[in-house]
Amino acid sequence: MARTFLALVGFIYILLAVWCAFAPETTSQSVGFILKPGSGQSEFLTVYGGLELALGIVFLRPLFQKEVTHFSLYICVIVHGCLVMFRTLGFVLFSGFESTTYALAGGEWLIFLMSLTLYIITKRSTKSSLE
């Protein structure tokens, strides 16, 4: 179950990385960014495209190395916990959100809660198998 969940999250991140790389104007506009030519474009490609690709790889790794599943879940909890924390702060500090922002927030919460649940379950099962 955990490996399937991580694979789904990983594929989503790979797709987002591809979308950021090949349609940066569309992607950035859908989340409220206006890309300044040169620096802004480069920064968006690097941070969004590159970071999302890296996360996708981390979350897909358990498909090929079962023993890293717990670690990948741990990373998923940390990443999405931080996203949820800062997204929530953004909702408190700012206004004027479009539907895409709410959809992203919902997805972040869902991934955070699911990864946390699976992390706890796998930690318990690993601990009990060692005893």
Domain definitions of the chain by residue range = 1-126
CA distances from 85 to 3, 28, 58, 93 (A): 25, 21, 21, 12
Q: What is the pLDDT of residues 72-101, one digit of tens each?
A: 999 999 999 999 999 999 999 999 998 889
pTM for the model: 0.89
Q: How far apart are the first and last CA of the chain?
A: 23
CA distance 96 to 1: 38
Q: What is the pLDDT of residues 26-37, one digit of tens each?
A: 988 888 888 899
Is residue 40 predicted with pLDDT exceeding 60?
A: yes
Give me the sign of the Cα torsion angle 19, 57, 59, 85. Answer: negative
Query: What's the confidence (pLDDT) of residue 125?
Result: 76
